[in-house]
Amino acid sequence: MRSPIRCTLSLILMLAATACRPAAEPQGEPAAPAPDSAGSPPAAGGISAPADDPRAEALRTYADLVHVSYAASAAEARALTAAIEALLATPTESTLAEARKAWANGHSSYSLTEVFRFYGGPIDAPGSGPEGRINAWPLDEAYLDAVEGQPEAGLVNATAAHPQLTTELLLSLNEQGGETHISTGWHAIEFLLWGQDLSPEGPGARPVTDFQPGAGPNVERRRALLRLLAAQLEADLQQLVAAWDPAADGNYRAEFLALPPQEALGKVLTGMGSLSGAELMGERMTVPFATQDQEEEVNCFSDTSLAAFLADQDGIGNVWRGAYGPEDVGPGVGALLEAAGRQDLATELDQALLAAREAIAAIPAPFDQAILGIPGSRGPKSVEAALLALERQTELLGEAATALGVQVQPAE
């Protein structure tokens, strides 16, 4: 009998491969209706399937859901910018707390969108996708600012090498010389707001004096850096909103809806399966649990990783149901399985999605302490249970791809 833990680094490599493996060829005819037999090309901005094809409505629902989700995330980024401006105008414990709250709300909202990754869409298109600027991690703190034992470290204190901080500089330095050299995005802002997490029981505790003019060396540079980071995050998210805007012509949404339905569905299932398995189960949870390295925790400065995990899971659920939280958008992937006569598999996936969410929610906060618990204690047992639930969910998503006759492919 296999150990219930199954938390090894080799598992991550296996997940990364299997999450993007093409679905097995279905026996007989595909369950979903075939593309328009007339073979006529789709109208500009239209969808290459007859109007009565259930895939057409489900794919429009998906495109609408992507746009709604990115628009909500962009709105939260604007709220974060406003909170940061309030902090910089009046640096107090209260305004710092509000900025941290706005960051936590904003990052959770962004995490709902991560199910739209992994297939070379606007978020992670090779050479142009902004994902690496938005949410790259883990982050080397000393690349940005002073850390314990290195009071002059980081970009904030590099006055000779970089006399002026600009957006262009930040973009050029992001991941320069190493993938942990992060100079933009959610986690750079997180580190500036919280500082290093040196507490075994709570998040980082950067003092508000770090943002008070005249209170220490290079405070003005730290203030300028925080403002630049917020502005770039807003711009990157707005780029994604525009790419999926239903009112725009010639954007990615139009290209997506013009794809052959089975190809478009393959992208949808790729995003769902890759987030469920290789990313959430693998990189985000298995790696820190297997290594017991708190630096591998995704939101390690704010100790809000569990909120990010739940939002990732909810994003998968949104695509499955065709909903944004409680608001229905239209038929989702689950409806396509039902239309294909696979109510049994749809029901099983409903249950698996709920079970995975409940298992994640049962992990005691903060996550960086749960992974360090004594084997067999509540923390490790709850993480193990969540990993098993995510493994089952990922397996069933693969079965759904097979049942729908779609190919699940890695992003180019």
pLDDT in tens, 376-399: 999 999 999 999 999 999 999 999
The percentage of residues in the chain with a pLDDT greater than 90, rounded to a whole number, is 82
CA angle, corner 340, sides to 335 and 343, nearest 5?
65
Task: Look at the chain and count its residues.
Answer: 412
Measure the CA–CA gap between 248 and 291, rounded to whole angstroms. 46
d(CA 191, CA 145): 9
Residue carrying structure tokens 């949104």: 318
Question: Tell me: the pLDDT tens digits for 340-353?
Answer: 999 999 999 999 99
- Report the pLDDT value the prediction gives residue 409, as an integer from 0 to 100: 72
Confidence of residue 3 (pLDDT cuts 50, 70, 90): very low
Please report, as a single letter, which amino acid is at residue 184.
T
DSSP 225: H
Q: Which CATH superfamily groups domain 9-20+51-403?
A: M75 peptidase, HXXE motif (1.20.1420.20)
DSSP class of 176: T
CA atoms 159, 163, 167, 168: torsion sign: negative
Pairwise CA distance, residues 129 & 4, whole Å: 37
The partner residues of 150 in beta bridges, in order of sequence, read: 147
Q: Is the pLDDT of residue 52 over 90?
A: no
Answer whether residue 253 shows pLDDT above 90: yes
CA 272 from centroid of its chain's CA atoms: 11
Average pLDDT for residues 33-43, to the nearest whole number? Answer: 35
Query: Band of the pLDDT at 46, cuts 50, 70, 90?
Result: very low
- Whole-number percent of the chain with pLDDT over 70: 87
* DSSP-derived secondary structure letter, 282: I
Which pLDDT score, from 0 to 100, does residue 405 have? Answer: 95
pLDDT tens, position by position, 149-199: 999 999 999 999 999 999 999 999 999 999 999 999 999 999 999 999 998
Tokens 């989700």 belong to: 69
Give the contacts of 147 (CB within 8 A, at least 6 positions apart): 141, 153, 154, 196
pLDDT at 50: 62
Residue whose token pair is 């013009």: 258
CA 10 from centroid of its chain's CA atoms: 23
Q: What is the mean pLDDT of the chain?
A: 89
Nearest residue to 12 (alpha-carbon basis) of 255, 243, 273, 280 = 280
Task: Give the residue from 31, 114, 55, 17 showing the smallest Cα distance to 313.
Answer: 114
Residue 363 contacts residue 306 (beta carbons within 8 Å): yes
Dist CA 402 CA 217 (whole Å): 59
The 10s digit of each residue's pLDDT in 64-113 is 999 999 999 999 999 999 999 999 999 999 999 999 999 999 999 999 99
Q: What local confidence, expressed as pLDDT, does residue 51 receive?
A: 61
Provide the 10 A C-beta neighbour count for residue 279. Answer: 22
Residue with tokens 């000393």: 142
Does the pLDDT value for residue 222 go beyond 60? Answer: yes
For tokens 């630049």, the residue is 228
